[in-house]
Structure 1
Amino acid sequence: MTKIFAHRGASGHFPENTMLAFEKAIEAGADGIELDVQLTKDGRIVVIHDEKLNRTTTAAGFVKDTAYDVIRSATASANRKEEYGDVKVPLLSDVLSWAEKADFLINIELKNSVFRYEGMEEKVLEQIKRFGIEERIILSSFNHESLALCSRLAPEIERAVLTLDVLYKPEQYVNAIPASGYHPKLHTPAVTDEIIENLKAGHIAFRPFTVNHADDMKWMIEAGAEGIFTDFPEKAVSIAHNEDTLC
């Protein structure tokens, strides 16, 4: 059965990459959550998508140039504070501490394709091992050199290639890193039924992003995608369960 990953949590309805969005995603029945990590000026691992704080928080400037205490004092619901209250930008350790007692998957995207964030891989891996949840983690990145480094540092933790591009024989490319997952953007030439079949034949986990429309969810489930990333996990869970019942 296709696994449902909540993209930045249940971000279609709640502030993205916050504990609130993650908790609501699991309450909705998602099989896992997806989150993004970057490093602050003082080397803390924070969960945030953009390189700048401006869009999703009440702070401003680059994450890499801002100390964690400043980020922690900001509100992560940006201009929706009246609706959601003073939610915070979590640390990766906050999410993993919460997840440690549960049983869902966590896709950690290393946001290091714009800024390199030296030492990010080691810091993230240390946190994962600290909580002892290696078998529930998928590391993904658009920086494929970073994935190769993760392979050398922690070969036991799953890795997945993120891409906006069309890769020639992606199953061979993924194996060369090596990784075992392929996460392309939906509705690009990188996603066709033929490519999906080739990946499945090569035992590569195909999980596209961001799958928000019901017809696309049904397509990916029927095509046998190992997982999908969606902003609306409650919708995807309902469709996945109905498709499973019909089969």
Structure 2
Amino acid sequence: MSAALIVPLSLVGGYAVLSVVLLRFPLLIHRKKQTKINARLIAHRGGAGEHLENTITAYKHAMNSGMDMLEIDCQITKDKKIVVSHDDHLERVTGVDKFISELDFEELPLITQSLPVHFCKGQTVCGSASDRKIPLLQEVFETFPSVPINLDIKRDDDELIHKVLDMIIEYKREEITVVGNFSESVVQKCHKRAPQIPTIMSMKTAFKMLGAFYVGLLPFLDFEEEFLEIPMGRELIKSFDLQKRWQKALLWMLDFLLINSVLFRHLQRRGIKVYVWVLNYETQWDRAMSKGVDGIMTDYPVKLAEYMREKGHWQDGQSQQNSDNYHTFDNGVEQQTGTSK
């Protein structure tokens, strides 16, 4: 073999060996991220398959069911109030053809009594006649002072971002609230204004992470974010009954590349938690658990809690411990049963 080949082959071989070693032992060059959020069971929009999404009633039900965390979304009204809603446009959840940003808080219509479950095609949920209002984020923080919250800031709006972050700090929730968005801009603005608040990888960062994994560069990259939250592409095909071949092919490829236990384990060794969304069926939960994810987001808190108990993924008494750590709610009345974290 000529010297012209020996040198580049040696460099490539050395790079490959170093990459494999650091993939397995990333703490040789990275400091492990530390967060106080250790949630496995996450109620998507508060449990949108069992109560009207993003309502206080849904949140109370989810926490009584044994969930560890609430996943919610926020928007800003015309009079600059921060409210909890996935959609800015009100048609889907209220039947009113208006944007939240066009109305003052007091003008917001009530949520309809029946809503489709977004990630369960053909399923609907009926809600409580007594709680159909879109809540203020402040009300959620005051009602659930020690419950971890996964908060999606839905718009790249500086005033919305600043108000949300300032409210998290005001309520001393920096250690139990994680914020983010698909948008890289939103995540970077959160980092800049409140670097002490944990964040979720944007779509751009997630794809950068994925590409780096397959070329061996991932162990050498640093990330500001503490959470990776991703869909399982195969499950999205089922949830939305997609018919177009290119959509199915794209999601299958994404699933094949992204749902990888080796990738997840590397991130977890670095203190980056991996959550998957939105999974509503036992077969989906089986697959997620087999891949070693940290947490599952679901629209069905009761069903997921029962599954975790039956499969032995949940220690006896863990549900009670979750409730004791937060609050329990009986017929809508809050009762303090433990100390805040």
TM-score range, shorter chain: 0.7 to 0.9
Task: Determine which of 106, 109, 113 is the counterpart of 2:152.
Answer: 109
**What is aligned with 1:126?**
166
- Alignment CA distance shift 1:203-1:53 (3 Å): same
- SS of the equivalent of 1:138 reads strand
Does residue 1:198 correspond to 2:241, yes or no? no
Matched, 1:217 2:280: no
2:92 pairs with 1:55: yes
186-195 or 227-236, larger mean C-alpha shift: 186-195
* Deviation larger for 182-191 or 81-90: 81-90
- Residue 148 of structure 2 contacts residue 176 of structure 2 at CA under 8 Å; is this kept in 1? yes
1:238 counterpart residue number: 306
CA distance in 1, matches of 2:69, 2:173: 13
- Give 1 or 2 for the bigger CA radius of gyration: 2
In structure 2, how many angstroms separate the alpha carbons of the residues matched to 1:236 and 1:76?
Answer: 25
Q: Aligned match of 1:145 in 178, 185, 192?
A: 185
Partner of 1:77: 112
Aligned partner of residue 92 in structure 2, secondary structure: coil
Q: Distance in 2 between matches of 1:220 and 1:65?
A: 40
Q: Would the alpha carbon gap of residues 78 and 52 (structure 1) be closer, same or farther in structure 2, given more than 3 Å must change? A: farther
Shift of 1:197: 2.9
Tell whether the 8 Å contact from 1:25 to 1:234 is kept in structure 2 after alignment: yes
Question: How large is the Cα RMSD of the aligned pairs?
Answer: 2.6
Q: Aligned pairs, how many?
A: 238
Alpha-carbon displacement from aligned partner over 1:146-181 (angstroms, at most 9, x marks no partner) = 1111112111111012549971434859x7662111
Aligned residues of 1:106 and 1:138 also touching (Cα < 8 A): yes
Partner of 1:44: 81
Does the CA contact (< 8 Å) of 1:163 and 1:183 recur in 2?
A: no
TM normalised by structure 2 equals: 0.64
One-letter amino acid of the counterpart of residue 184, structure 1: I
Would you say 1:90 and 2:125 are equivalent positions?
A: no
User: 5+ unaligned residues in a row in structure 2: which ranges?
Assistant: 1-37, 116-124, 234-250, 316-341
Distance 2:271 2:159 in 1: 31
Q: Which amino acid aligns with 1:182?
A: L
Deviation at 1:77, TM superposition (A): 3.3
1:21-40 mapped onto 2 (5 Å cutoff): 21-40=58-77
- CA distance in 2 between counterparts of 1:79 and 1:2 reads 29
The question of whether the paired residues in 1 share the 8 Å contact of 2:76 and 2:82 is answered with yes
Deviation at 1:207, TM superposition (A): 0.4
Contact 1:164/1:185 (8 A) holds in 2: no
> Structure 1 pair 49/244, CA: closer, same or farther in 2 (3 Å)?
same
Gaps of 5+ in 1: none
The 10-residue stretch of structure 1 (233-242 or 21-30) with the greater mean CA deviation from structure 2: 233-242
Amino acid across the alignment from 1:55:
R
One-letter identity of the residue aligned with 1:233: P
**Alpha-carbon separation, structure 1, partners of 2:127 and 2:229:** 33
Deviation string 1:110-143 (CA, Å, 9 cap, x unpaired) is: 101xxx3232121001111221122110112111
Change (3 A) 1:222 1:104: farther
Measured in 2, the distance between the counterparts of 1:245 and 1:126 equals 35
Alpha-carbon offset, residue 193 of structure 1: 2.8
Residues of 2 paired with 1:54 and 1:230: CA distance?
23
State the shift of 1:79 in Å: 4.3
How far apart, in 2, do the equivalents of 1:176 and 1:90 lie? 37
Q: Look up the equivalent residue of 2:226 and give its one-letter code.
A: S
